[in-house]
Chains A and B, each alone.
Chain A
């Protein structure tokens, strides 16, 4: 599926650079903590970040080879898009493919509450 997306030109696998940035953060934290191994890494990824789950998992395996996080599990917490609709005064989850339109009243609601996240949340290391 991934190969197909690359072939279609839909992705140039920017997840690779995201995975490398992630690994960068994990490496630093591992040094600070004095650990030589990381079992799992927890990330939070917003719906607007343009990150495809499969591609990020694949990229993580590639990026972490021969590193402190080799073989670690990447736990991806996907954060759905939530906007604040000023027209009907509430937080709303736009329907997929409808951009930032409020699903209740149809107004454009560009105040993004959730969906931009791209955070390195935590890592699990041997005790």
Chain B
């Protein structure tokens, strides 16, 4: 009775298998597949990351209304519970797919691959992924995007980049949103950008109001440049 069972639990009876591989190796491999898929079709994919409520969907609604006629866009929505965001995107005039995030806090490359099969975006278009509102794990999961766009609204505090250094360290663009609210909050745009550049030197930053449309042209030129680059 003791043998068999107890022997297996005996440490001297164990051997160590060295693995040394990335925990997210599977995700990374699927992200590489997506990246190639985009490249083959000259599609630019953007991964929008932020805290909940920074204004990602509002930014997209305005972007679709302003650019949609010239630039075909589809949106993958990673919102957790509701279909609200994809309904808003469709109302703004773009195709959208709401995807289930599984464990809920971020999107993974495999989910994006399946979404692309469904959405079948055309060549030379723009695919925008609205990640789940969260500044921690979306930084870890590569989706195969061209660029990660970190969105920060002025109601969140200009020290956010210092609190979530990893997210800002992997961002390719910082969009500071809700600047129409600057008169009412204690938020220093310059300090925020400096905080972000402390973790990502040279990080490009654009301050906009997705609500009033102020300075949205800077965001549109960045999109156009990202399609060339």
Contact = CB atoms under 8 A, between A and B. Distances in A.
7 contacts: A13-B104, A14-B136, A17-B106, A108-B198, A120-B20, A121-B18, A124-B16
A97 to B, nearest CB: 8
Interface of B: 8-9, 13-27, 80, 102-106, 108, 132, 134, 136-137, 139-140, 161-163, 165-166, 169, 195, 197-201
A14 B106 contact: yes
B66 to A, nearest CB: 32
A126 B166 CA distance: 38
B137 A14 contact: yes
Given A99-B161, A122-B17, 16 more contacts: A12-B134, A14-B103, A21-B23, A24-B26, A39-B9, A48-B169, A49-B166, A50-B137, A50-B140, A110-B169, A116-B166, A122-B16, A122-B18, A123-B17, A124-B16, A125-B14
A125 B15 contact: yes
A59 B75 CA distance: 31
Residues of A in contact with B, size category: 35 or more
A69 interface: no
Contact of B198 (A37, A99, A118): A99
A119 B22 contact: yes
B179 to A, nearest CB: 24
